């Protein structure tokens, strides 16, 4: 009989051979596969059904060109993607990312992670992801509108409220969602909950803006409780200064922690008096300015340009990587541990390298993996879908309470799965297994499709 180890190894070798040019995807797959060995030993029927090889191959990948006209009248061309990875437990659900780094490997890694993240929420949503190598920075509103309309003209053929429901991600905020939704409605002549993260005037949900950042903090709260700790008096670092970072900072400070640093791609600011969230929101959400402007406006703050220092060198109790993938490497992790960090909570997607995670775990640092800790955004997206289907709207307090319960449930399920499969306290293993088991049973029940 084939062992779980032999099966997982053989499938991963095949995945590596078929996707050798996709390093981010292989990193995400390798991290999950390593956790699943005991699952296949316990449930050999999944080996017989070759379930893992079926799961790791997307159900569908759509790649398309996106032509648009800039303000000078020149035709520009970008590439668009939608990876529809798994619909075993519900319609495909996952964000759209507009960033120059976007390629098929990144979209596939994000879509693969989304399968397990969405499963963990307990909501009926499958895994998908999409985006474009378009860079919104420096573009006018009209240029972004023309790009979004061109992007949606093609994407609209492949999505729908009961098929695939995209949302925002890096480079796709409320402005972009509005333009995308307007074009979808125009093309399809239907008013439906096909996108989430919509504005409140046209079907959006209260607390959706705050959800990913708040959810990461709620997850961290559960990790701290398990250590007999809370946020009071703790010093935190939050990388990034976009949606996730802003609202993680806001919630942390409301619960008694002091966030002393945030960043963007140009560098980071250190403010020992605590980050002024109102100022940060004004600079980033209204003015769309670079983070150096924060230091210009706050005498207590200093700015360090990118390449001249690391935000992870700042002494802190808590770290929240909320910027982008692989932003914490092994050396960063060692620095954080040496400086006394007790908990790391991933607000971004896969922000820690595998080597960094190993450093944290060996040091006894509580580690909240992205697929669990940053699931708050997609959880509230699912709640937005529910409100759209019911033609109703819930209060901020109702949605926030549901979000808290979902994040608490994710922590408890991950912790229980880790314990059941011999890895007590390892939330990486626990999240992978808990997320996988629900999808695996659904796939098995639906036959070989």
Total length of the chain: 449
Of 31, 7, 17, the closest CA to residue 358 belongs to 31
Tokens (6 digits) for 360: 């944290």
| Coil vs helix vs strand at 324 | coil
Calpha distance 299→40 (Å, rounded): 57
Element (H, E) at 357: helix 354-362
DSSP string for residues in 372-413: HHTTHHHHHHHHHHHHHHHT----HHHHHHHHHHHHHHHHHH
Of 217, 202, 133, the closest CA to residue 171 belongs to 133
- Backbone torsions φ then ψ of 219, nearest 5 degrees: -65, -45
Q: What is the dihedral of CA 249, 254, 259, 264, to 10 degrees?
A: 20
CB 237 within 8 A of CB 243: no
Calpha distance 294→225 (Å, rounded): 33
Number of Cβ within a 10 Å radius of residue 129: 31
Angle, CA of 349, 352 and 354, to the nearest 5°: 115
CB 79 within 8 A of CB 63: yes
Half-sphere exposure of 131 (CA within 13 A, CB side): 30
Calpha distance 68→78 (Å, rounded): 8
Rounded alpha-carbon distances, angstroms, from residue 146 to 65, 97, 199: 14, 17, 19
Active-site pick, 93, 108, 117, 129 = 129
Annotation marks residue 419 as catalytic:
no
Element (H, E) at 82: strand 75-86
Rounded alpha-carbon distances, angstroms, from residue 97 to 74, 211, 283, 339: 24, 18, 21, 34
* Residues with catalytic roles: 129
């Amino acid at each position: 009989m084939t062992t779980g180890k032999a099966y997982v190894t053989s499938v991963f070798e095949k995945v590596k051979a078929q996707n050798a040019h996709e390093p981010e995807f292989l990193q995400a797959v390798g991290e999950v596969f390593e956790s699943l060995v005991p699952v296949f030993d316990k449930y050999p029927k999944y080996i017989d059904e070759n379930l893992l090889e079926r799961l790791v191959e997307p159900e569908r990948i759509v790649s398309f060109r996106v032509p648009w006209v800039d303000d000078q009248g020149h035709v520009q061309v970008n590439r668009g993607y939608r990876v529809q990875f798994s619909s075993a437990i519900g319609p495909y659900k996952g964000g759209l990312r507009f960033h120059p780094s976007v390629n098929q490997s990144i979209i596939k890694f994000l879509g693969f992670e989304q399968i397990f993240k969405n499963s963990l929420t307990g909501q009926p949503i499958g895994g998908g992801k999409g985006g474009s190598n378009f860079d919104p920075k420096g573009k006018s509103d009209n240029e972004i509108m023309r790009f979004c309309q061109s992007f949606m003209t093609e994407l609209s053929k492949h999505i729908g409220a009961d098929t695939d429901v995209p949302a925002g991600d890096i480079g796709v905020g409320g402005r972009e969602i509005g333009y995308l939704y307007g074009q979808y409605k125009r093309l399809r002549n239907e008013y439906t909950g096909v996108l989430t993260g919509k504005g409140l005037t046209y079907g959006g949900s209260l607390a959706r803006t705050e959800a990913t950042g708040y959810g990461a903090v709620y997850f961290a709260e559960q990790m701290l409780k398990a250590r007999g700790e809370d946020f009071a008096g703790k010093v935190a670092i939050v990388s990034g200064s976009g949606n996730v970072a802003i609202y993680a900072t806001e919630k942390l400070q409301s619960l008694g922690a002091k966030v002393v640093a945030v960043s963007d791609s140009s560098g980071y600011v250190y403010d020992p008096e605590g980050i002024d969230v109102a100022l940060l929101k004004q600079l980033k959400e209204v003015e769309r300015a670079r983070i150096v402007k924060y230091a210009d406006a706050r005498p207590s703050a200093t700015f360090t340009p990118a390449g001249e220092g690391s935000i992870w060198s700042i002494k802190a109790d808590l770290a929240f990587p909320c910027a982008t993938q692989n932003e914490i490497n092994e050396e960063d992790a060692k620095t954080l541990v040496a400086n006394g960090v007790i908990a790391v909570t991933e607000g971004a997607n896969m922000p820690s390298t595998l080597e960094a995670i190993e450093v944290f775990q060996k040091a006894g640092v509580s580690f909240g993996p992205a697929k669990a800790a940053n699931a708050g955004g997609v959880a509230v997206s699912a709640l937005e879908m529910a409100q759209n289907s019911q033609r109703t709207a819930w209060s901020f307090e109702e949605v926030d309470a549901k979000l808290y319960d979902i994040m608490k449930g994710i922590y408890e399920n991950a912790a229980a799965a880790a314990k059941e499969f011999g890895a007590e306290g390892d939330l990486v293993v626990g999240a992978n297994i808990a997320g996988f088991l629900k999808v695996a049973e659904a796939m098995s029940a639906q036959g070989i499709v």
